[in-house]
Amino acid sequence: MFNRLKTHLIRTLHIGVEKLAYNQSYNFPFGKEPLASENKYKRLAMEARNKNYPEVDSYEYKSGYAIDQEWLHELALHTQVVIKKSELCYQHGRILYTALSQYLNDHPLRDVGDRFTVWETGTARGFSTLCMAKALADQGRAGTIVTFDFLPHRTKMYWNCIDDHDKPKSRAELLEPWKDLIERYIIFHQGDSKLEMPMVQAEHIHFAFLDGSHKYNDVVFEFQQIYKWQKKGDIIVCDDYTPELFPEVVRAVDEMCEKYDYSITHLKVIEGRGYVVSVKE
């Protein structure tokens, strides 16, 4: 009885401290009302899906793996189509699906109990996480995706997306249509990656996606938390590898790949948006 009470008190205290530390993440960080009508989000979604991305098409063709387009656009409508000043682009979903699918093909199961471990920073609404989960599911592979973000998973808020016309929702509610993938593969871990990543123990991180802070020191830190648990052929994908807009990301990724012996495939999708798929040699 005493131990259960002690555990409950510790957990309550932890939650209270967490909410104080990440208060902004709990207090409607995307605004306290919907930012646009349902029709505007639909119009933006249609514009985004009708654009062509030859470099991503070529990347998919060479690998032999491509995500189902209707599935991708439906997920993006709820998690990527937002009101913003820059051009809408969610091609990282295609890149992640293709890179992870090819990795899984190149690394067949050694025994029935094999599980793949994927880490991600910058969960946001969960778009990229679910694209990676779909790759695991489509390849019939067991795995765990641990994704880190300041944003809480079960706190209701407006997300600057089409679902806001209904009511504030938690991320768990927003992603309810993809619950099967979440239950099979995804762990949502809240907190500052600088504090939380060293506390989550991993024996092997096969694949990772870095899309958290864009500051040089933070990118270096996150890369270093991943590389030491990787082996030859393992992959780190980095978002926003764009010298004009994010020079600190580019400098950090280039330095880390050279220092720790990763080869680089650079995909420039649009002006102002590029990605790197780095493979450990």
Please give the distance of CA 36 from its chain centroid, rounded to a whole number: 25
CA angle 137, 138, 143 (to 5 degrees): 30
Instruction: Quote the pTM value.
Output: 0.90
User: Residues 214-220: what's their mean pLDDT?
Assistant: 96
Q: Residues 280, 230: contact at Cβ < 8 Å? A: yes
Instruction: Evaluate whether residue 25 is within a structural domain.
Output: no
Instruction: Evaluate whether residue 1 is within a structural domain.
Output: no
Instruction: Evaluate whether residue 9 is within a structural domain.
Output: no
Instruction: Evaluate whether residue 142 is within a structural domain.
Output: yes
Please tell me the distance from the alpha carbon of residue 122 to that of residue 130, in angstroms, as a whole number: 13
Using the predicted structure, report yes or no on whether residue 3 has a pLDDT greater than 50: no
Instruction: Evaluate whether residue 163 is within a structural domain.
Output: yes
Using the predicted structure, report yes or no on whether residue 12 has a pLDDT greater than 60: no
Residue range(s) defining the domain that contains residue 78: 32-280
Instruction: Evaluate whether residue 3 is within a structural domain.
Output: no
Query: Any idea what the CATH number is for the domain that residue 40 is in?
Result: 3.40.50.150
User: Judging by DSSP bridges, how do beta strands 116-121 and 207-210 pair with one another?
Assistant: parallel
Instruction: Evaluate whether residue 121 is within a structural domain.
Output: yes
Closest CA to 18 of 165, 138, 192, 172: 192
Q: What is the pLDDT at residue 260? A: 97
Please tell me the distance from the alpha carbon of residue 122 to that of residue 150, in angstroms, as a whole number: 8
Instruction: Evaluate whether residue 27 is within a structural domain.
Output: no
Q: What is the pLDDT at residue 30? A: 85
Residues 72-81: tens digit of each pLDDT: 999 999 999 9
**Domain tally for the chain?**
1
